[in-house]
Amino acid sequence: MLARADGGLVRIRVPGGRIGAAALLAVAEAAQRWGSGIVEITGRANLQLRGVRSEAAADLAEALVGAGVSGGPHADRRRNVLLDPLGDLDPEAEDLGPLLGPLLAALDAEPRLDGLDEKFGFAVDGGGSFGLAGRRAAVVATPTRTRGVMAVCWAWADDGEEGSPVRPRRVARSELVDALVEAAVDSLGRRRSSVAVPAASADSVARVAGPLGAGAGWVGAMPTLGRADAGEMVTLATAARRRSGGLLRLTPWRGVVLPAVASDESGALLEELRAGGLVVDAADPASTVVACAGSRGCTSALTDAVGDARRVIAARREAGSRPAALHVSGCAKCCAQQAPLATTLVGSGPGRYDVYAGGGLRARSVRGAEAVAIAAGS
């Protein structure tokens, strides 16, 4: 558990973003019982709880292991796998979902990986329309143009060396698990660095909204700013039980995909999710706004990033504006989003932001309300 301004922060690894309805409910219950009640979906398609009381850490960990949500600290450290969320549901993508089980088994079986860096992670990309382009990880696997052949790249700075040597290798898909484990072992004792999944197109690099609405065999939704309350979690889990075989996939766009949805059920499912407070429409201004915890959860924050992001969303909804990508950051570290977006508010002083738009600095050190007004109109 990590100490934060609003109490303990507990990260829950969800390998490949694949999670069942029962596990999601167990996380929601734990958030209500021991934390703030809010469950966050992270940019690595994991979950995290905030406001956890320090004396509750052991009970919480035990409950998560008991519910099958966590494999315990050793397993969780190894199982940091980000997987293309659509995979088999996207005709453009190579379905790498079946590799997840063998990869986790191989990682579990490798005792040397106990020494893995806490932030070590894999990005395994299918190359489809909602692929992982631009996402960064220690080890990246991505399809080549030759069907069945993957490019595996890994990067970290060797002690004493400048820069981050990238080690690309082409492997047959059947060799992929071995190559990924080998890369993990190779990382031991090295200083952490990362590589990015190659961009399929310029558009996919700037993508901030994940799959939303209904597609062929799937329905996508997201809680505003990736922060779900208990009611929204229950809505998602109930909907999954009724209409997608109890299965959900978390996305690195802080949303959720329900797979295997019958086409004649998708309309009713979308209505259920919308009524439960979730965003299901890519035209909703909430779909493209990203914010860090700001002063509600981070001692480094200079501004209320979450509150200001919500104010921009409300103003854009009222004005009926088109959703333009916006990042609201409580300080210059910009944890929530690495790629530049159309508009970025960067906390620059207590309650103040520098506003970046149109490729440059548009206003320096303006009050929060003014920054919100500029962002709402941009």
The CB-of-332 to ligand SF4 minimum distance in angstroms stands at 7
The CB-of-11 to ligand SF4 minimum distance in angstroms stands at 14
Task: Specify the residue, 293 or 357, whose C-beta has the smaller distance to ligand SF4.
Answer: 293
Site for ligand SF4 in 128-147 (CB under 6 A): none
Strands of 264-321 (E only): list them. Answer: 289-291
> What is the secondary structure of 19-62 as a DSSP string?
EEHHHHHHHHHHHHHHS-S-EEEPTTS-EEEEEE-GGGHHHHHH
Contact mark string toward ligand SF4, 198..227, x via CB under 6 A: ------------------------------
Choose, by CB under 6 A, the member of 259, 330, 368, 371 that binds ligand SF4: 330
Task: Specify the residue, 219 or 298, whose C-beta has the smaller distance to ligand SF4.
Answer: 298
Please give the helix or strand (H or E) that residue 373 lies within, else none. helix 368-376
Choose, by CB under 6 A, the member of 14, 195, 331, 376 that binds ligand SF4: 331
Residue span binding ligand SF4 (CB under 6 A) among the ranges 14-22, 107-115, 143-151, 324-332: 324-332
Give dist(CA 275, CA 339) in Å, integer. 32
231-242 b/e with 16+ CB inside 10 Å = b?
Answer: ebbbbbbebbbe
What Cα–Cα distance (Å) separates residue 285 from each residue in 149, 297, 369? Answer: 39, 24, 18
Contact 12, 47 (CB under 8 A): yes
Task: Specify the residue, 96 or 301, whose C-beta has the smaller distance to ligand SF4.
Answer: 301
First CA to last CA distance, the chain: 38
Task: Specify the residue, 204 or 300, whose C-beta has the smaller distance to ligand SF4.
Answer: 300
Contact 306, 345 (CB under 8 A): no
The CB-of-279 to ligand SF4 minimum distance in angstroms stands at 22
Q: Is 154 helix (H, G, I), strand (E, B) or coil?
A: strand
Tokens in use for 162?
């400048």
Contact mark string toward ligand SF4, 289..318, x via CB under 6 A: ---xxx---x-xx-----------------
Is 368 among the residues that bind ligand SF4 (CB under 6 A)?
Answer: no
Interface with ligand SF4 (CB under 6 A): 292-294, 298, 300-301, 329-331, 333-335
